[in-house]
Structure formats: C-alpha cells, structure tokens
Structure 1
Amino acid sequence: MPRLAHHVFFTLKDNSPSAVDNLLAECKEYLDNHDGLVDFSVGRRDPELNRPVNASFDVSLHVVFQDRATHDVYQTAPRHLEFIERNKESWASVMVCDSNLDD
C-alpha cells in the first residue's frame, strides 16, 4: 500500500506572530505522534517567497502516514478532534491536500 501525504494549509483570522506561534504549538501537541505517522512537520509561510504560484496561508502542516488506513484512523482520533475543536474558531480558511506517494 502507498504511503499517504496529508498537507493542510491554515489561514488565520488573526495572523499575528503570537497567533501563528500558538497554532504551531497546538499542531505539535495534538497532531504529532499518532499511530502510523512516519513524518511530521509544521511551519509558517515564508513571506520572502511571495510569488504568484505561492498560495496565501499562515501555517502549513505536512504529515505522512504509512497507509490510507492509518490516515483514516487519525481523522477520528480524539487528539485530532480536540485540536479541531480548540482551534477552528481561529481559522479564516483551511485547505487540505491528500495524495498517495509513489515509492
């Protein structure tokens, strides 16, 4: 089975440095160390990379699961759901991009 990449791009209502820092910390606390997770990274948009093809967002989350099944379990995991509940009011928009990875 192919690994599954799950990329999430958050645009915040308040994109102050402290609000971005808060979401980064929340991602690290609630979204890392799930079963089946083989890679985790989260970061802020680089403002110097301001090109027409670079989408506007504040925080990007990139996780890779060992397969689709572990991704599906993650979607309903209590820590993932708690993250959403704790943070959803701060989001102006969220874009999710999932893909199967070729080895």
Structure 2
Amino acid sequence: MSSPRLAHNVFFKLKDPAPAKVQELVDACKKYLNVQPGIVFFAAGSLCAELDRPVNDRDWHVGLHLVFADKAAHDAYQDDATHNKFIEENKPSWAAVRVFDSLV
C-alpha cells in the first residue's frame, strides 16, 4: 500500500488587505512555492467573496494549497531555501497565518 499524500493548506491574513497587496502575495506564492520537488498539486489565490455562508471562515485574504507526494517531500519543502526566502520577504505583511495539514 502506498503512503498517503500530505495536503498543506495555508491561510494568510494581511495587515493591508488592499487588492494590490493580496495579488502581490499570490504572485509571491507562485514564484517561490511551486518549485520544490515532490509537489503534486499547487494553487494560490484570494478569498472567494461570493461565498459567504455562516459556515465559511472569511478571516483571511490569501490561500495556499499544496499536496505533496508524501510527508518526506513536505518536510524537505519546509527547509527549502526558496521557501525560506518567501517567508523572509513576505512575513512583514502578515497579520496572521494558519496552517492546516492532513493526510489524503
């Protein structure tokens, strides 16, 4: 039986949620976080404003969605120099970050 894949979902709340700032972070995700080995799915984008049901968590601005081949690929990504550069360059703009990891 093969190992489960690891889904890594990160939700960023920005200090300045202006549309241009949201797009800057989406672009940074696409530049820095789609290049590591072991990624089988990547997506980054902004909150879908049209979905506003009581169950929708709307306390964020940019969502990053990655699925890794396995936990080892995820662990290597966490230590990757490009991932660390993304954090270094973008962390000052974050008001909060929430991470949800699951085996899928």
TM-score, length-scaled by structure 1 = 0.95
> In the alignment, what sits opposite 1:61?
64
SS at the partner of 1:25?
helix
C-alpha separation in 1, matches of 2:66 and 2:52: 24
For residue 42 of structure 2, the aligned residue among 40, 62, 65 is 40
C-alpha separation in 1, matches of 2:93 and 2:53: 26
Deviations 1:6-56 (A, max 9, x none): 000000000001000100110000000210000000110011212222112
Deviating beyond 6 angstroms after TM superposition, the runs of 4 or more aligned structure 1 residues are none
Unaligned runs of 5+ in 2: none
Please tell me the root mean square deviation across aligned C-alpha atoms, in Å: 0.7
TM-score, length-scaled by structure 2 = 0.94
What residue identity is the alignment partner of 1:43? G
C-alpha separation in 2, matches of 1:92 and 1:52: 23
> In the alignment, what sits opposite 1:99?
102
> In the alignment, what sits opposite 1:77?
80
Q: Does 1:8 align with 2:14?
A: no
C-alpha separation in 2, matches of 1:10 and 1:53: 19
> In the alignment, what sits opposite 1:88?
91
